[in-house]
Structures are given as C-alpha cells and as structure tokens.
Structure 1
Amino acid sequence: MPMSTPMPGQSGPSGSSALSGAAAVSTVGLRKSYGDKTVLDGIDLHIPAGSVFALLGPNGAGKTTAVKILSTLIRADGGQAQVAGHDVAASPDGVRAAIGVTGQFSAVDGLITGEENMLLMADLHHLPKQEGRRVAAELLERFDLTDAAKKPASTYSGGMKRRLDIAMTLVGSPRIIFLDEPTTGLDPRSRHNMWGIIRELVNDGVTVFLTTQYLDEADELADRIAVLNDGRIAAEGTADELKRLIPGGHIRLRFTDPAAYQTAAATLRDVTRDDDALALQIPSDGSQRELRSILDWLDSAGIEADELTVHTPDLDDVFFALTGGTDHTKETVR
C-alpha cells in the first residue's frame, strides 16, 4: 500500500535533516515471531542514505515482515530500528512522514481514474487543492501516464498500475522508499522500465529499500545486498562480494602458441588443462588482487596469453548456496 502520510499540518518529510551523516535505515537485533514461528531472528542492517539496498530471500524468509516493521505497519518483538533518524517504536509519526511504501500488491483503486487516484493521495497528504493538482500532473507526466490519466485504473496494464502505484507513493516527496517486490508479475519490458524509475529516484537522492526474488534485479540495481534465510542474515555485501563467497570462480587463459601454453601449464599450480583448446583454468575468487598477481606472473615469465577471462558465480549460485541449507552463521562481507 502506498504510504507516506504526514500528520495534519506537515507538508513534507520531517526526517531529511536527520539523515545527514547517518544511516537512512538501521536495525540492531530486530526480532519478530508469530506464535512459535520465528520470522526475524536478530536482524542487523545499516543502509546509507541515497543508496539502493536489496533484501533477498525465499518465500517466507521474512522480507515483507521486515518492511512492515520498518514502515510502522507492525511492531517488532525485540531489537531496535531507526528510519530517517526516527526510532520506529518511539516516533512512528516521524517515520511515516519521511517514507513511502509500495507493497507487493497494487493499492490502486481500479474504480477511479489514474488522476483521481493521485488526487486522493494528495488529499491524504493535506496538500492544498492547487498544489495537489500540480504534483499529480507532474508525477503522471514523469511516469508516462498523462494519456491514460482520465481512464479508469482498472483498464491499465500491470506495468501501468505499478507505475501509478509508485507515483502515488511519491506524492508526499518521501526520502526513503520501501519497494516490496515491485516487479513481480511484470513482463520483461515493464521490469526494465521499473528499473529505470528506481535509478531516477536514487539519482534524486532517495534511498530505496528493495525486496525481490529476481536475482538479476538485485544485481542490476543494488549497492548492497543481504540474503535473508530462516529469519537471519546469511550474508551481506555488494553483488561482487557475495559472488566471491561461493566456490567455482576461475580465471581462464587461452593460448594460440602451444609452447607458451605448455610453459604456463607446467609452471602454474592447481590448473585444469584443456589441451585441445590450449586453455588453462585457474581457481580464483575473481578479486582484483588475484587477477593482478596472475598478470604480473605472466609478464615476468615472458608468457603472453591470447585471451584472459574471469568467471565468477552469479547471484543464483549465491542464493541457492546460502538458502539451500540450515546453516545460520551470519557472514558479513566488508
């Protein structure tokens, strides 16, 4: 549900100044249970302002629960959380004035037009009528919905409804936006359009907290990624850092000169040979330091490889490795 609801008399985010020099979102030991089912089991997060943070995890991992707690929709059972400099439990109104939320399911009212949906949100934000119309028109144009503004939202495609959903979220000019699986069910073109919208938001200084099951989406958009499994953070880091956690990465050297190939094969340790292709495969974590070491060795030995490629596991490999078992060890990549 789009949410960025100031209290009466407030005209915009109250937490913007609090973000200066601090995390936009931070949690310590966040916990939540439903009966005997522990959904969040001590979550620590630190999300810088103006970045995209992606929370990955299988169904039931606790992603939506985390979003609901941070957006004040439900209360945590333990731990601490701050959003836009406001304590979620002690100052929920301050949090709500600074955030926007787009949930998994569209909150668009299909019985009214796109424009009427926007104006309804403007009224909820207590914007003066003329200001509300201006903001609605600007956002409808920004999200390429002007031509459809007078049509019932029920006639919109899935991608159009999602764009309208986010446009409604932006009426209150939130500085932090929670997007809970925003591209689920969208066709590839609509997904890419949504990615462009998210990038634009971040360019404007907005912090985006994204949950998704699309690993390429996190790889494409996120500055940092956390993998949530069985209520705990299994690993956290940049996409490249997470990929280096998983074995299987390697550097491949291919030669056209058989003599150079044989020399390299005889000298390098732990290589896998492909004599037909004159290629060597060297286990590697894909780091810059390791790549430089191999290049320096080739140079000092006077050996020239005709082709060098670095292969690292992708986020699919990371996801399945981290969520396929029951190991609850937290590993934070720095």
Structure 2
Amino acid sequence: MQPSVSKALSNAWEQIAVNIVAVVLAIAVGLTVGSNPYIIGLVVILMIAASNRMGWHGVNLGIVSIIFILDAPPDQFLEHAISRALCIFIGLVVALTINRVLAPPRYKKNFRKKLYALVYDSSEFFLDSLKHYVDSTSFNSYEKVKPTLLEKQLEEVTELYEHAREEFSSKDKMQLMERLLELCRGFIERGENIEEMTRQRVKRRQAPDSPPQMGQGISKEFQNLLDYILVGKGILGALRDSLYLSFTYVPATPLQTLDQDFWNEFDLRMDQWQKHFSGVYFLRATMEVAVVATEMRWASKRMRSSYELSIKKNDLQPLEESKQFLQENPGVSGGPKE
C-alpha cells in the first residue's frame, strides 16, 4: 500500500523485480551449493549489492524470500519458492486493488481545502505587512512577524499537491492550483521582505544619527503617501476576497484592482513628497516606498490572473448564493478589513 496510485504501481513493479531476482538467486544457490547460515548471509549480501546497483529500495522483501527459500529442506526448494512467489504476487495484486478500486487515496478535497485556506492566510500576512510598514512611523521598536506557521502550511500543501495531482482531471484547472501555490509562496516571501524592511526603518529612525526632524513626526506629504498605501491595501483586500469567493461562487461584485488611475495618483503623491526633501537618508525612504509599491503591483497582477483562471470553472454556485454568502459574511465583502 502506498500514498498514491502511481506510487503503488511503481512499488509493485519494483517488488516484483526484487522477488524474481531473489527467487532465482536463492534457487540457483540452493540447488548448486546447498544451504547453511553462511551461504544465506552471502546470498543476502549479493542481493543487497544487486538492489543498490539497480536503485531498488524494496530489498527487504527479497531478503525475506531468500531466507525462506534457503531455510527449507533440500527436497522442498522448488515448491517453497513457487509458494512464496505466489503469496507475494497475490499480496501485490490485493494491495493494488485496494489502492485503485476499493479504497483509493483521496487527497484532492483535502488539498483544495488547505490550499484555499492558505491563500487567505498568506494574503492576510502580506496585507498586514503593508499596514505594519505604514504604522512604523509611530514605533519606537519593532520585532518583525515571522511566517513560521505559514511556511509549514505551504510545505504541507505542496506535499499534498504531489499526491492529489493524480486525482485531478482536465476540468479541475491544474494551472489554477499551480498558480495559487505560486501566489501563496509569493505572499509569504514578499510579506517577510516588507516585515524586515519595516524593522530596519524603525531602527534607522531611532538611531542617534538620524535627521533632527525624525523626532518631530513625518511631513504632511509623506503621510499622504502612506495613507494612499493603505488605500491600495484595501483594494488588494477586496481583490483577495473576490478571488477567495471565486473558488466556490459566481462573482457578485465588480473586480477591484490597482489600476492605472491608482498608480497615477500614487506617483503624484510621491512627487509632492520628494519636492521637499533630498539626501541619502531620504533616498533610502524613497527606495523603501518603491519596494512596497512593486510588491503591491505584483500582488494585484497575480491575484487578477488567478481570478481570471478561477472564474472559468464550470462548477460554481449561482449568483444568488454568492450574494447570500456576502450578506452572511460581512468580513468578506470586497472591502478593506481593518
């Protein structure tokens, strides 16, 4: 028995090969040389060497076959060998039948459930990192949030995917599953980068050699820029909610993205801030804002492409149920959740 049908098939063919080699080797040695503990040990060593040479991993069953055959009385070699081989082959057939027909492993449903949950959780971590960056102007110290649990979830979902992919058909949108895995990985990595950048920003602002105005708050222009990052965070949150709902329901609200109008306003606020400040210290702040903007642009594009793949599915619920879901779950309404 194996965790997937393909693994069961692969393991079955390997065990068949191992048993054939073990039976032939044991019979040949038993009929020509005889049998005693030393000969059994030597044949086992030869079997292990042959298995390593061929790259087989199921050598244990072959060793058992060798011992059973060579441990039999001389006049029962062939009968014992045939009996043992038949038992092994029958066992392989039974295991394959169970794996394939009676109790096939069902990973698809569990994989989807955990993947969709990870999409939401990892995106929440990314959106929170944006909020932490904006709020960092009021922090005296900051300990970045580490996505340890999310990384474990991603590892678990990736492992489930390797098993579940055999159960997917052409209707299940494998491309969407792969895109969502990439999206989750990106949310975690980029959110962690912003968290580290926030930690460094707080440390730099509290350093003794920071400009005098650092102790006097921030400029109006820069605050306007930070406020607009929060606007973008809200739009990304609405886009995430639309993507999450599209896994099950027909979209009930228009899709919100960071469109060109958003970035035009962002650039305008950026220019207004940069007119009043210059120098190496403020250059680093400019670079940080540029990094945040780049990550937000990435998130918007990736979620939109995933959304477009998701709504092509044919097994979505009616529009009325989508509206009912939104009414019953106001926290997932397409708007920012603070």
Q: What TM-score does the superposition give when structure 2 sets the normalisation length?
A: 0.22
Q: Which has the larger radius of gyration?
A: 2
Considering fraction of residues, name the structure with more strand.
1
Q: What TM-score does the superposition give when structure 1 sets the normalisation length?
A: 0.23
Considering fraction of residues, name the structure with more helix.
2
| Structure with more relative contact order (C-alpha pairs < 8 Å, separation 6 or more) | 1
